[in-house]
Structure 1
């Protein structure tokens, strides 16, 4: 009996993806992408279950997995760049970026500066010239409060243009969709959101224009004609990574099965199509390279948060 129970079950059996939010939105999209790609490519035999664990923009799921399910090799949990920013600011409680095993990055989005079709601003320079002349006349908005990813994007743009972020007028909305509606209604003038999300809204009929993407080079496909902030003279870059982690006590063997499976899956043309259909751009990393990337990113977010006068919690 002991010999039987000591044999580890295959981690790819009865799999679960935990989305740390309500259905809809980025975490759900991340889980559904993995679910489709793993099932369609026959990497798993049984359908992957997606469960929702909202609370604290990822904090509840993070704490639950570490404290209650640390060795559950069947469960992967979605994370984003926003999760890493929250970790840097201590918003996940007593745990840091060193308390889980970072498994795979499966795609990315990038920050974007968006205005309404009717806006007089035709370039990023126009926006920043107006903010410099009188920061109270330009109302920025996005789906996140002060210290969130979207606020950080707005603050970085302002700072790059020589405007003190503390003087900018910023309105926080519940989500990107609400902010885009406000933009089209003229309630805000500039939206600091995500490129893919904005492009999908444009395709759905939203009357908005993307003035700049926050990457060092132009994005492919539908975004190829949109200039970067860098080429407009403002060094603002903001990648929004999307991926998964597992509990801290998942065995090396089970972790390797997952990492190898994701690596194999992401190397296929079928996966490229699924990812781009969901508006995500290429970013594929697993195992140690991802772990190094995450820890470097959280360190950089800590520095940024300090520079902007936000709460920061050092890594343990």
Structure 2
């Protein structure tokens, strides 16, 4: 009888252990919730390259465009809530969408924020052959007629990129509701719109411009930071230097499904912390045009949820939500 009970106990123990083993990260994947070429793509590439030594196999990057992250967060709250292998790229724009209800029923409490890739800043971008040589040139036209300049970005009215334009106009006492704004589904599409001539000004992020600036196709009129950024952006003036009190810092990072196991979550946290401690990670972040911000685990999760709370307050003041 004792032997039988022991055998039964061992059988149950093996069954209980099996699900935990299945939660191990064996097929790492980063989901970029937009088309290739924008900020989400950049964020996933940092994870793909920066965590290369932390996992046995290479990390896959999957593109999942739709609603500036809405499709992705819906998927990870329905069919992939406990996926141990997948992380999803997000930015401050994603946090703003959570704060303003752009993701429908899904909010900050419906994901597990995991780790940061670094910080970024908003940027006012034009084509290399643009008539606007300085931010002042652009603002002069907007002062004459706020609707005379077609501007655009990877987000709808009320999104992070729209907020960049609105903050800049507010800094010049202009009515943001009168701007002529075109919404694209992600930074890649917006850049294509700028280069194709459908918009004259693109409100993007500094980080996503690193590779594009090398081609000579675009110029940054100003960065939306309080102080000048280090190389390769040290020669670009800030909006504040041009006389406009407009700044927009951006956090880039990753979240997981809300039902992912603690074991899988901690395995990812451990991988990021190990990467943070290397010179290779610092060099990679810099090469991608970001500034360092090393946050992970519960500290990072709490920080992001606090940011969403603050953005909710700002959105209410701006009349974007009730």
Give the TM-score of the pair, scaled to structure 1: 0.85
Measured after TM superposition, the shift of residue 262 of structure 1 is: 0.3
Give the conservation status (yes or no) of the 8 Å contact 1:97–1:298: yes
Q: 2:84 aligns with which of 52, 63, 73?
A: 73
Q: Deviations over 1:270-311 (max 9, x none)?
A: 112233333333222112332233123222332333344324
Indicate whether 1:16 and 2:26 are aligned: no
Indicate whether 1:151 and 2:188 are aligned: no
Indicate whether 1:168 and 2:179 are aligned: yes
Change (3 A) 1:273 1:93: same
Give the conservation status (yes or no) of the 8 Å contact 1:11–1:258: no
Q: Which residue of 2 aligns with 1:246?
A: 256
Q: 2:68 aligns with which of 57, 60, 79?
A: 57
Q: Which residue of 2 aligns with 1:106?
A: 117
Q: How does 1:158-307 map to 2 (within 5 A)?
A: 158-177=169-188, 179-180=190-191, 183=194, 188-206=199-217, 208-307=218-317
Q: Which residue of 1 aligns with 2:5?
A: none
Measured after TM superposition, the shift of residue 198 of structure 1 is: 3.2
Q: Which residue of 1 aligns with 2:3?
A: none
Secondary structure of the 1:264 match is helix
Q: CA RMSD of the aligned region, Å? A: 2.6
Unaligned runs of 5+ in 1: none
Change (3 A) 1:166 1:88: same
Give the Cα separation in 2 of the matches to 1:79 and 1:185.
Answer: 27
Measured after TM superposition, the shift of residue 51 of structure 1 is: 3.4
Q: Which residue of 1 aligns with 2:48?
A: 35
Change (3 A) 1:173 1:247: closer
Aligned length: 309
Measured after TM superposition, the shift of residue 265 of structure 1 is: 0.4
Measured after TM superposition, the shift of residue 71 of structure 1 is: 2.9
Measured after TM superposition, the shift of residue 105 of structure 1 is: 0.7
Measured after TM superposition, the shift of residue 190 of structure 1 is: 2.8
Change (3 A) 1:223 1:299: same
Give the TM-score of the pair, scaled to structure 2: 0.84
Q: 1:125 aligns with which of 124, 136, 144?
A: 136
Change (3 A) 1:128 1:280: same
Give the Cα separation in 2 of the matches to 1:35 and 1:263.
Answer: 15
Unaligned runs of 5+ in 2: 1-10
Q: Deviations over 1:85-107 (max 9, x none)?
A: 21112122212101211100112
Give the Cα separation in 1 of the matches to 2:79 and 2:253.
Answer: 21
